[in-house]
């Protein structure tokens, strides 16, 4: 029974994961989140730097996105397989050497910048 359950979870996760770009810690992404207000539904964008991705390749995979809004750091933890996530756009890939970027919480302005990873063009 548990084998069947894990098989179904993997199939659903594989199908949903394929519609999102491959992103990791240090990347700047734009997440389109569906917000329900009363009987209306709208899409709100949340753009920021990915601090971490937890439980990769499982049905409970989550990622944390951090942005600075009016001088205040705002973090949002989002489940990757959530039906409320409409779309994820990869804006820029960051060059980092670790999987968890908690040190960004203590930095502001230029100190919180991340270098961009160079994309090699094939000739």
What tens digit of pLDDT does each residue of 49-77 get? 999 999 888 888 899 999 999 889 999 99
Q: How many CB atoms lie within 10 A of CB 51?
A: 20
Q: What is the pLDDT averaged over residues 36-57?
A: 93
Nearest partner of 52 among 30, 25, 78, 76, judged by Cα? 25
Nearest partner of 29 among 79, 72, 66, 75, judged by Cα? 66
Answer yes or no: are the C-beta atoms of 96 and 26 closer than 8 Å.
yes
CB neighbour list of residue 106: distance below 8 Å, 6 or more residues apart? none
Fold of 2-103: SH3 type barrels. (2.30.30)
**Is residue 87's pLDDT more than 70?**
yes
């Amino acid at each position: 029974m548990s084998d069947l359950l894990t098989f179904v979870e993997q199939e659903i996760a594989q199908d949903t994961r394929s519609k999102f770009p491959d992103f990791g810690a240090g990347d700047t992404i734009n997440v389109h989140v569906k917000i329900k207000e009363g009987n209306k539904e709208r899409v709100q964008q949340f753009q920021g730097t990915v601090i971490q991705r937890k439980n990769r390749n499982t049905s409970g995979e989550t990622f944390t996105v951090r942005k600075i809004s009016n001088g205040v750091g705002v973090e949002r933890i989002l489940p990757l397989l959530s039906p409320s996530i409409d779309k994820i756009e990869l804006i820029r890939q960051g060059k980092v050497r670790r999987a968890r970027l908690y040190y960004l919480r203590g930095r502001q302005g230029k100190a919180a910048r991340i270098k961009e990873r160079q994309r090699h063009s094939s000739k």
